[in-house]
Every structure is written in C-alpha cells, then in structure tokens.
C-alpha cells in the first residue's frame, strides 16, 4: 500500500507544538504518552531475558562482556522510559504487574528465544536496527520528555547494533559451514518477525489513531518498514547472507521494497494467547518480583522518608 505520509520537506502540522510534562495537555494526550512510554519500559525489561540466558553460555570472554553490557543497558532503558511513564501517573509496579497479571501484551518478537549462539547475532542485528529506525521516528514526536529519553537510548542502541554486526561478521568469516548456515537460517526466521514488529499495514484510517493525531507517533508502520528494509538488507548482503527475493526485494516499477507479508492472523493469535516463551518470561518476572519484594519495599520506604 502506498505510504500517505507527508513529503519530508513539507511541515507536518501535527508536530507544530511540542509539550513538556508541566504544560496543559490536550484531552487524552497524557494517557497516550503514558501508554507508549510504559509499553516501551516493559519491552526493554522483558526484552533482555532472551539475551540474559546466554550470558553463562557465551563461547568467549570478550563476547560475554559485551552481552552483559547490552543486558545492563537494556534494563537501564527500561528505567529511563519507566520514569517518563511515572511522571505521567503510571507507576513502575503497575507496568510490571500489568504484565505479570496478563493485562499487558508483548510485541511479537518478545515471545521467542534463541536456540543457538549463532542465532543471537543476526537476530539482534535485525532487532536493533529496527528499534533504531522506530526510535528515530518517535524522537521527533511532540512529547519532549519521551523524545529526550529516546535520544539517550539511541546512542546505546548503536553500540548494540555494532556488537551484533561484529558478532554476525565473525561467524560468517571465521565460522564453519554449519555455523554460517545457522546465520542464514536465523535471518530467514527473524526477518518476517521483525517485519511484523512494526505493526499491521497502514489502512485508510491509520491517521485516526490518537497517538498519531497527537504527533506522539510520527511515522506510519509502512514508512518505517520501508526505511528499515532499505537500511538493513544491504548490510546482510555485504555480510554474505543470501536474501531470497521471495522474502523481500525492490519492486522495479515503484522503487519500494516488496516483502512477503507476515501471517497477521497468526501474529494476532500469538499476541492474544502467548508465543513459545511468553509464559516462561512472565514467570521469571513474577518470580523476580516475589524474591525482591522485601528489598523493594525497604527502598521505597527510605525514599519516602
């Protein structure tokens, strides 16, 4: 479907006015800003779990250091965005409890884990590049505290991107044929997942979305998908990964990227009922809450004193 976003050189009236926390916000604006920041906080926290379980299985010490740094950064991103949500009236406990008790759903990519170390690099490369495209669009939005938080996060996401790039490059240049085949398999598995991560296709009514109307969300799902494909596919080709035209290719007539559409029925079913690792991640977060309840309560009492 053709993208209906405004040309880049044409000012977007939605973005004419930006807001700070203390400003008089339009009706419904606070709720939408709280929703996007709390949703991202949860994604950052749960999103570390597939990586964290590999820390004690990383095959070399340097990679282990980089993976630990990534996990630490992602938890920090959760704290940064949770603080934005807190200022808007959504507590950190609410963010976590809503997930543990089933009131909040995860994005599709967070329902999976990694089966092999060779899968971690290309999967992370796809995920981090997609997150950067998404954040760079959102940081142009109208809620300034959230935009500033995203700009901070983007700097660390760049480190994660280059770590994943180096990891994948190492496997493709120094790995065995079997290891290179695992990279190829990971690319073909995760590409459709990340295409779905950007959200369903644009429709004639997507501009009626309140987050879009308020200018908190700047770019459409299809526009971000196109930008991401244009950036990441050449990277994988340079790494030596084969990109099957049946997965994605540039349409010679339109100049846009064609891609095999994700199975949106299956994606929606997974979001509703949970994917392969969803229940495990939920249980881990619930267990962490229970084990650390005493320390959390003491810290909260001291901060309130």
Helix (H, G, I), strand (E, B) or coil at 19: strand
In this structure, what token pair is assigned to residue 142? 């109208």
Q: Tell how strand 257-259 and strand 248-250 pair up.
A: antiparallel
* Residues of the chain by 3-state class (helix, strand, coil), percent to 5: 65, 5, 30
> Which domains can be identified in the chain, with CATH numbers?
18-304 (1.20.1260.10)
pTM: 0.91
CA gap 216, 36 in Å, rounded: 9
Give yes or no for a contact between 111 and 92, defined as CB atoms under 8 angstroms apart.
Answer: no
CA terminus-to-terminus distance, the chain: 56
Provide the 3-class DSSP secondary structure of residue 237.
helix
Please state, in angstroms and rounded to a whole number, the distance separating the CA atoms of residues 25 and 19: 7
Q: Which residues of the chain have pLDDT under 70?
A: 1-10, 204-208, 300, 303-305
pLDDT in tens, 61-94: 999 999 999 999 999 999 999 999 999 999 988 9
Greatest Cα pair distance, the chain, in angstroms, is 66
Q: Give dist(CA 41, CA 39) in Å, integer.
A: 5
pLDDT of res. 16: 75
Task: Identify the pLDDT of residue 202.
Answer: 83
Other Cβ atoms less than 10 A from the Cβ of 237: the count is: 11
Q: Is-contact 154 135, C-beta < 8 A? A: yes
Q: How far is CA 244 from the centre of its chain?
A: 24
pLDDT number for residue 2: 38
pLDDT computed for residue 3 by the predictor = 42
CA distance 164 to 79: 23
- Copy the structure tokens of residue 197: 């991560």
């Amino acid at each position: 479907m053709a993208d209906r976003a405004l040309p880049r050189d044409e000012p977007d009236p939605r973005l004419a006015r930006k807001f700070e926390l203390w400003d008089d916000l339009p009706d419904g604006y606070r709720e939408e800003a709280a929703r996007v920041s709390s949703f991202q906080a949860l994604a950052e926290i749960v999103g570390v779990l597939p990586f964290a379980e590999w820390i004690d299985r990383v095959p070399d010490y340097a990679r282990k250091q980089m993976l630990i740094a990534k996990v630490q950064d992602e938890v920090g991103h959760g704290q940064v965005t949770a603080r934005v949500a807190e200022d808007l009236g959504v507590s950190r406990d609410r963010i976590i409890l809503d997930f543990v008790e089933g009131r909040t759903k995860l994005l599709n990519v967070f329902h999976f884990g990694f089966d092999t170390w060779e899968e971690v690099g290309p999967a992370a490369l796809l995920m981090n590049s997609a997150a950067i495209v998404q954040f760079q669009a959102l940081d142009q939005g109208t809620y300034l505290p959230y935009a500033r938080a995203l700009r901070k996060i983007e700097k660390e996401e760049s480190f994660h991107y280059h770590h994943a790039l180096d990891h994948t490059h190492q496997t493709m240049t120094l790995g065995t044929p079997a290891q290179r085949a695992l990279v190829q398999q990971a690319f073909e598995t995760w590409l459709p997942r990340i295409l779905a991560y950007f959200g369903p296709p644009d429709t004639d009514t997507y501009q009626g979305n309140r987050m879009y109307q308020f200018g908190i969300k700047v770019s459409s799902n299809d526009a971000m998908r196109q930008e991401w494909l244009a950036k990441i596919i050449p990277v994988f080709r340079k790494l030596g990964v084969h990109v099957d035209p049946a997965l994605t290719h540039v349409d010679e007539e339109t100049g846009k990227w064609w891609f095999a559409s994700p199975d949106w029925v299956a994606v929606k079913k997974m979001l509703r009922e949970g994917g392969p690792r969803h229940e495990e991640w939920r249980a881990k977060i619930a267990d962490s809450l229970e084990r650390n309840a005493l320390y959390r309560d003491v810290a909260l009492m001291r901060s309130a004193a």
